[in-house]
């Protein structure tokens, strides 16, 4: 039963990473910067990979492209052509990803609780 709890816990950890990445993208989606300056916010995505011992790991990577050029001549950061840099964040896509991440988190909670209940039942049977 411990293996099932470990696997479910790895899923909970990966889902937490996924939700944090989504929150970061959404929180910074309206950032703007002058083209060619500084260190702009770069949007990211999460990929999941299976662990050799079971479970899953979350890998945060930069989206490709992670930044875009937008036309905003009213921005004080715009160049002479009215262009600024912005993160490559699609709000609708982030909301859809958030729904998937939340459902995955809930499923891992259920799996973890079920493993605990099975362990309790096994111990009660022995006692």
Q: Which residues contact 26 (CB under 8 A, 6 or more apart)?
A: 89, 91, 94
31/70 Cα distance (integer angstroms): 11
Bridge partners of 59? Answer: 47
pLDDT tens by residue, 63-103: 999 999 999 999 999 999 999 999 999 999 999 999 999 99
Length of the chain: 127
Res 38: pLDDT = 77
For the whole prediction, is pTM greater than 0.85? Answer: yes
Confidence of residue 1 (pLDDT cuts 50, 70, 90): low
pLDDT surpasses 90 at 124: no
pLDDT surpasses 60 at 7: yes
pLDDT tens by residue, 11-70: 999 999 999 999 999 999 999 999 988 789 999 999 999 999 899 999 999 999 999 999
Q: Which residues contact 53 (CB under 8 A, 6 or more apart)?
A: 6
Query: How many CB atoms lie under 10 A from the CB of residue 71?
Result: 10
């Amino acid at each position: 039963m411990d293996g099932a709890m470990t696997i479910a816990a790895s899923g909970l950890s990966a889902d937490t990473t996924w939700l944090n990445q989504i929150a970061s993208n959404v929180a910074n989606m309206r950032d703007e910067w002058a083209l060619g300056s500084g260190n702009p916010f770069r949007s990211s995505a999460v990929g999941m990979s299976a662990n050799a011992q079971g479970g899953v790991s979350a890998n945060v990577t930069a989206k490709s492209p992670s930044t875009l050029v937008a036309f905003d001549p009213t921005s004080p950061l715009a160049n002479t052509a009215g262009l600024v840099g912005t993160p490559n964040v699609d709000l609708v896509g982030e909301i859809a990803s958030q729904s998937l991440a939340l459902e995955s988190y809930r499923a891992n909670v259920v799996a973890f609780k079920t493993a605990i209940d099975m362990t309790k039942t096994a111990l009660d049977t022995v006692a």
